[in-house]
Amino acid sequence: MTAGAKVPDQDQDQDLAAVLAGARACRVCAGVLPLGPRPVLRVTDTARLLIVGQAPGTRVHETGIPWNDASGDRLRRWLRLDREVFYDASRVAIIPIGLCYPGTDPRGGDRPPRPECAPLWHPPLHRHLKHLGLTLLVGGYAQAFHLGPRRKDSVTATVEAWRDYLPEFLPMPHPSWRNTGWLGRHPWFEAEVLPELGRRVAELVHDGGF
């Protein structure tokens, strides 16, 4: 945790609106975020599908809209969802491991999500997600946090073992263009995982009482 940061008060009896207000007002990492805090998430207590990604990129930070970039376009193709349904928070919740843009990694890409964020905000948010049918763990950070010792030694091995985590979780690679080569080397993901993913998502967001 950053020096001098004040941890937001959290009461287990807080309603979802209060938890969301606290998350959106969070300034715990303000001193180390290069563009400042702008938590980006979408949650309602009716959501049937939860998407857990890494952290916002610069375009998401600028717009405040999660997955509002090329990675989001690919993710929506994988899920077979148009933007209208994808951004319908009554059906789809979106909570990244890091709620704010963490900055650029000198080695390329973005820095990892801030380590303070997920332990602080995921548990109180999850307490209100009582109707989830599936949680998508997009990338290694989401898999590490939610699967813990159940994850394999790599993202590839974890995704390859996707059947082991159903029906609660489905681990996925990140849809970034940086993973285009990975998709080419692992054709089983598109051949085996994506059809099952599309079927389950359709059942939850189209046939799940909406």
> For position 12, what pLDDT does the model report?
64
Q: What is the mean pLDDT of residues 49-69?
A: 96
- Which residues fall within 8 angstroms of residue 20, CB to CB, at 6 or more apart? 41, 43, 125
Let me know if domain 30-205 sits in CATH 3.10.100.10. no
> For position 162, what pLDDT does the model report?
98
Region of poorest pLDDT, from 9-13, 35-39, 56-60, 192-196: 9-13
* Per-residue model confidence as pLDDT tens digits over 178-192: 899 999 999 999 999
pTM of the model: 0.92
Structural domain boundaries of the chain? 30-205
* Per-residue model confidence as pLDDT tens digits over 83-131: 999 999 999 999 999 999 999 888 877 899 999 999 999 999 999 999 9
Angle at the Cα of 97 (from 22 to 75), degrees rounded to 5?
120
Let me know if 97 is exposed, middle or buried by CB neighbors in 10 A (0-12, 13-18, 19+): buried
Q: What is the mean pLDDT of residues 131-140?
A: 97
